[in-house]
Structure 1
């Protein structure tokens, strides 16, 4: 995968605007001595030299004029960061469904609510301790208090989860502070410029109404920044166990289409704690939640106050259902049979009324290959364009040509994202070709993904000169190295062409059933012999009656 990112600056004009500027500049280039004469006489004619034209090309179309005329606004492309290889994930997570009975579901809910209540209390205590070194977070003291209400292993999992949540919340505070500072500085720079004017490359707001709105926005950002600074100084991030968004829905149940009972069920489910960290050397990699690889049975160690609910010796509760973990099962079996650490999470989905068991473990990491190594191998790349709410991906071959249909992966993230010039160029040169070979809707983000992959392979963003256009008669003919869409198994058609197969000299057209059928050339051309039909028996044209 080769995603990229960019900085926010002005975008460049299109090709027609650039050609028009260059043509006008060439016509205005004075003869020898005319430029000086125009400047000395105070003429309104603008003196543009060949150096101006070259600078316009280098600067992406921004033409800097000298003389008595008005200076056009300089436009530049935003700087695109170099594509990089995304390393392999540092862990794996798989899931299987738990088909529980009503009584088993009630037992798990009681255990989850009991552990969740103590987990929230421990997290609150960790927040009160504040931002201190690791040795001063009093984890051992907190763990001893939790052991009396659960078990030693449950207490260890709770205290580790509290520390991880606290550190994550601190990082979010630092990121929010940086974001608020950037927004405030940007608004302050534009407020310092009068409306409708531009000073040192900074453009003022177009009218007083928008300027007043941005002044109010700046006051809001300043107040939020002060609150974030206060929380960072105190080391007390705001954490809502169960989710802040779900908590706010409680005040707008009618708009969310929920009843108080349904909301309470979702809220209580989100605040349960049923996570057991794995440990190497323990039976099947986890002593608290154990899965037998032979028959898939699941057993859970109950907290000390709930040992009366146990149905097996030593305070354990065995579920009647089993799990199989079809996805990545071999990797999971290798770990549990060798008693290597595997973490288990029991998750409830109240909307669907289902329970799941998640298994996760860490995987050995290795440095990812460089772009030059991948290019030398001649492998295909999965180019990804990062966006606010989705990932636009497309596979490109070693020549930089898209293969197959582009893919959109929704991420469900909130917030705004800056536009990218990869989107501009990719949408201009690759959105239309991708749409021709895809039956789904292709956006400029998919074109940007192709542009990113081509830059990673060392190719230019634009299509190579000499690539044949999309034409009904020559739709299957492409330039050297062009990719050929993968054949689809639909009915009986002739054998599909592949890259490197010599063209038999026949034409192609589209059948009403969207199948490619090869037909003979119906007319002679100078220097070319008519070719016979090349097709299978099932695809031969029927003679006319």
Structure 2
């Protein structure tokens, strides 16, 4: 690290808890009439949502409260005021999400153009450094990248123009499913099956909660015994089987997770939002209940550090964890929690949950906090950053850092476990430099990931990653006095190994002892050469 400029390391902080809760259950035992009504309502409201989204995208940056009110009044005539409010709110959320994704895409294009332009300006074959890539390896690669640079510049110009006009591109139902229409054989779907899946993905059966209203929702209402009733839109009011234009499903639902919290909210008429959706792959209907919760009051950082914590290093296929005491010393053996990120999205999500459950149960048994890196690979996923290192880019892109972080915070809040987020800068490099070799032995091989977990834990505790050296043995003037010292907070290069200062550094050795011993022969060791240098190496003052 000597000779490199280190970036500023952000201080550790306690992560905030979740701001909302969502639970899901299956709607079982539906009759043919129930299924028909749900499909008709979802298709009708879905068509209204598509029209409203089209109108909102056409407005662009000219959107105002008046245009919002006009759209809502137009939707109310064909549904109801509450359905219209849910549709317009979902439209605004989707437009805002597309707007943020557009801005992130512009930043990605700018980073790619900057990298390619830098590499094209260098001579072919010039090697790069750890901070900046070098030139391209061959003239052919240089030529191909020059063409790609023009392509990215044209694409960036179009995206900037759309962003300035407020134009976004949104596909209700998903762009991936839309593109599947052109590859039905690869997806093993018929045109009819794809059409059914496409229509189901565009249905709209979502109702926002209302605080103070009966059971927390007037549009989709669920009673404590699980009875589900829906307020039908005006064109479908003739299908009602209950008073006031409502349709009651024949089957009841049961929430197995957080049932007590949900029941407590609806009995006190607090807002609960509901969403009914159809899983075409399983041919099942599901009901999702969600509500917001006040932010969990975090404990002070000093209290979270009391008694030590568990440092966790996130990797592509496992979590490496090690328990540390309050002084930053590793205790016991390292632990690993593996997960497999191959297969479907549901399988990957389940693997992440199972790994986090094992980690949280271990922390709960010992009553410790968890320290984890505040990772963000949005900039490192760029294609131009790593060049031909395709395998490395795949590993980085496959790490579920955002999903893992969100799930860890929400699951830890339920168990009362504090999560401390630390800056990920240099944790793997300095952990391997200062901790991997000292903790390795004949019977245990400490990996780089294990050492990184110690570095993360020490940074969360407020200690320097660099470890202290052992105290000196007995000598004539010092008797087992700890002669190592921690570097101060303002000491430059405190995370690095201090340079060796030649010469004696103890009070028991005179300044000219090196010259005297170098010119005289040893009197205690036999058969030693007369010109042997017996000056002892000084101890390194390290943390």
- Scaled by the length of structure 1, the TM-score of the pair is 0.63
Offset of residue 122 of structure 1 = 0.3
Output the CA distance in 2 between the equivalents of 1:151 and 1:437: 71
Q: Which has the higher contact order (CA 8 A, sep 6+)?
A: 2
Q: Which residue of 1 aligns with 2:234?
A: 304
Q: Which residue of 2 aligns with 1:192?
A: 121
Q: Which residue of 2 aligns with 1:527?
A: none
2:251 is the counterpart of 1:321: yes
2:320–2:334: 8 Å Cα contact kept in structure 1? Answer: no
2:340 is the counterpart of 1:340: no
Output the CA distance in 2 between the equivalents of 1:151 and 1:124: 20
Offset of residue 112 of structure 1 = 0.5
Q: C-alpha deviations, 1:355-378, integer Å up to 9, x for none?
A: 1111111110155345333113x3
Output the CA distance in 2 between the equivalents of 1:199 and 1:443: 28
In structure 2, list runs of 5 or more residues that go unmatched: 350-376, 382-392, 397-424, 471-543
Q: C-alpha deviations, 1:333-352, integer Å up to 9, x for none?
A: 12111101000011211111
Q: Which residue of 2 aligns with 1:228?
A: 159
Output the CA distance in 2 between the equivalents of 1:128 and 1:325: 41
Offset of residue 117 of structure 1 = 0.5
Q: Which residue of 1 aligns with 2:59?
A: 129
Q: Which residue of 2 aligns with 1:90?
A: 19
Offset of residue 184 of structure 1 = 0.8
Offset of residue 189 of structure 1 = 1.4
Q: Which residue of 1 aligns with 2:91?
A: 162
- In the comparison of the two structures, how many residue pairs are matched? 386
Offset of residue 193 of structure 1 = 1.3
2:318–2:337: 8 Å Cα contact kept in structure 1? Answer: no
Q: Do the aligned partners of residues 425 and 379 (structure 1) sit closer, same or farther apart at CA in structure 2, a change above 3 Å counting?
A: closer
2:208–2:272: 8 Å Cα contact kept in structure 1? Answer: yes
Q: Which residue of 1 aligns with 2:199?
A: 268
Structure 2 residue matching 1:355: 3-state secondary structure: strand
Q: Which residue of 1 aligns with 2:79?
A: 150
Aligned-residue Cα RMSD (Å) equals: 3.6
Structure 2 residue matching 1:251: 3-state secondary structure: coil
2:382 is the counterpart of 1:452: no
Offset of residue 188 of structure 1 = 1.0
Q: C-alpha deviations, 1:80-138, integer Å up to 9, x for none?
A: 655443211111111111112333222211111110000010011011111136435x1
Offset of residue 450 of structure 1 = 5.3
Output the CA distance in 1 between the equivalents of 2:50 and 2:322: 45
Offset of residue 457 of structure 1 = 2.1
In structure 1, list runs of 5 or more residues that go unmatched: 1-59, 63-74, 467-545
Structure 1 residue matching 2:181: 3-state secondary structure: helix
Pick from 95, 110, 115 the counterpart of residue 45 of structure 2.
115
Q: C-alpha deviations, 1:460-509, integer Å up to 9, x for none?
A: 5578878xxxxxxxxxxxxxxxxxxxxxxxxxxxxxxxxxxxxxxxxxxx
Q: Which residue of 1 aligns with 2:287?
A: 357
Matches within 5 A, 1:381-530: 381=310, 383=312, 385=314, 392=319, 394=321, 396-398=323-325, 401=330, 404-408=335-339, 417=381, 421-424=426-429, 448=452, 451-459=455-463, 461=465
2:21–2:290: 8 Å Cα contact kept in structure 1? Answer: yes
Structure 2 residue matching 1:318: 3-state secondary structure: strand
Offset of residue 384 of structure 1 = 6.0
1:277–1:286: 8 Å Cα contact kept in structure 2? Answer: yes
Q: C-alpha deviations, 1:167-200, integer Å up to 9, x for none?
A: 1111111111112111111211121111123699
Pick from 195, 212, 224 the counterpart of residue 281 of structure 1.
212
Q: Which residue of 2 aligns with 1:217?
A: 148
2:210–2:270: 8 Å Cα contact kept in structure 1? Answer: yes
Q: Do the aligned partners of residues 210 and 426 (structure 1) sit closer, same or farther apart at CA in structure 2, a change above 3 Å counting?
A: farther
Q: Which residue of 1 aligns with 2:532?
A: none
Output the CA distance in 1 between the equivalents of 2:121 and 2:241: 73
Q: Do the aligned partners of residues 379 and 343 (structure 1) sit closer, same or farther apart at CA in structure 2, a change above 3 Å counting?
A: farther
Q: Which residue of 2 aligns with 1:177?
A: 106
